Amino acid sequence: MKNKLAIIDYGIGGFDLFKMIKRDFPNYPLFYFSDSGYIPYGKLKEDELKNRIFSVFNFLKSKDITHVAVACHAASTVSQGYEGLEIINMIDSTIDSINNHNFSSIGIIGGGRTINSKIYKNAVKDSTREVFQRNAQQLSIIIEDGSYDKLTLERTLKQVLNPIQNVDVLLLACTHYPAIKKEISMLMKQNCTLIDPMEDVYIKLKINVLDSNYSEKDQIYTSGNISTMKIACQNAFDVNLNNIIPVKIN
């Protein structure tokens, strides 16, 4: 039986990983699930979020999925313990990404749940390093909406980044942020390194899951608004989506 990979996210952030895979494995069939029609994951209590993610896993399992890349930091915090699927979450890859870099100061930007958990702040092992966190939930909302203007994005970025613009490295602890890497880099000091943990996720999938001798159609599902998803994916990741399938999960 061949591996069958699904990417899940609350919204479109997982299309960063989608593009990486399609670049090197253009014929590999991907199953993408966006849960943007549900309550934002960052607003759910831990047990509520876990129940929802496990319901999504049940849906994927019914589609004969074998591996799931959880392309969402919030969802990754509750994705452990599900049986019957191989789960690849953002947490381990992000911690690996952090500790593979040399730095004396690090900035971490992410959604409210990720920042409040301090999971990545606590992963900075060397106590001599300075760690600065910033809640950048509004950036995720702007990118997910897809209809933002440059002035709104620039204003929000400055609010988030100005207090930490002189750090050595900046961790993008939300899968939406790679869509605006260029804009982020322009506001950081010249030699600041941006860490995109999705690159480490892709390497793991490339080694352990992906197969070039596999050719079927992609399947794109969403619990949310199809038109908004199409616009947001085009604007953020330059991905043109067709045949998005609406789905409701109990």
Q: Give the tens place of pLDDT for each residue, 148-177.
A: 788 999 999 999 999 999 999 999 999 999
Count of other CB atoms within 10 angstroms of residue 246: 11
The last residue of a domain, from among 178, 197, 216: 197
Q: 124 is in which domain, residue-wise?
A: 92-197
pLDDT at residue 139 tops 70? yes
Q: Give the tens place of pLDDT for each residue, 50-85.
A: 999 999 999 999 999 999 999 999 999 999 899 999
Residue 9, pLDDT score? 96
Q: State the pLDDT confidence band at 2, using cuts at 50, 70 and 90.
A: confident
Q: State the pLDDT confidence band at 42, using cuts at 50, 70 and 90.
A: confident
Q: Say what the pTM is.
A: 0.90
Q: State the pLDDT confidence band at 1, using cuts at 50, 70 and 90.
A: low
Q: Domain of 79: which CATH number?
A: 3.40.50.1860
The reply to whether 235 and 156 lie within a common domain is no
Given a contact cutoff of 8 angstroms between Cβ atoms, the answer to whether 113 and 88 are in contact is no
Written as one letter, the residue type at 99 is N
Distance of alpha carbon 183 from alpha carbon 180, whole angstroms? 5
pLDDT at residue 49 tops 80? yes
In terms of Cα–Cα distance, which of 76, 111, 112, 78 is closest to 95? 76
- For residue 77, what are its two tokens? 């915090």
pLDDT at residue 145 tops 70? yes
The reply to whether 68 and 135 lie within a common domain is no
Tokens 């750090």, residue?
A: 167
The reply to whether 164 and 206 lie within a common domain is no
The reply to whether 98 and 193 lie within a common domain is yes
Percent of the chain with pLDDT over 90: 78
